[in-house]
Amino acid sequence: MDNLPPLDAVAHAVGGKTAETLISKVKPGGVFASVLGASQNAEKYPSVKLHRCSQRPECEDPPVHAEAVRDGKLRIP
């Protein structure tokens, strides 16, 4: 993850050191969205907006997201 450029947003669902590393990559004013809550080191990044998400399966979502990636509207680094 050292090679990741600064990110506008992170959608997070892992926790631990991964969360701590990913939040450090979010640009000031960017969003760290997580189903697990804030990372342990979130207080070090006060300019990052924290957003707690809930998760629910939606059959329509995967094709919509896949199409967005295909069409260049969503980029997954």
The CATH number linked to 40 is 3.40.50.720
- Is 77 within the bounds of a domain? no
User: If you search the block for the tokens 């926790």, which residue do you land on?
Assistant: 15
Q: Which domain holds residue 54?
A: 7-70
Give the pLDDT score at 44.
Answer: 96
What mean pLDDT comes out for the span 5-21?
87
- Is 45 within the bounds of a domain? yes
Give the pLDDT score at 14.
Answer: 78
- Is 76 within the bounds of a domain? no
**Model confidence at 48: pLDDT above 90:** yes
- Is 75 within the bounds of a domain? no
**Model confidence at 23: pLDDT above 70:** yes
Give the pLDDT score at 60.
Answer: 62
* Residues in the chain, total: 77
* pTM for this prediction: 0.67
- Is 16 within the bounds of a domain? yes
Tell me how many domains the chain contains. 1
- Is 60 within the bounds of a domain? yes
> What percent of the chain shows pLDDT beyond 70?
90
- The whole-angstrom separation of Cα 43 and Cα 47 is 9
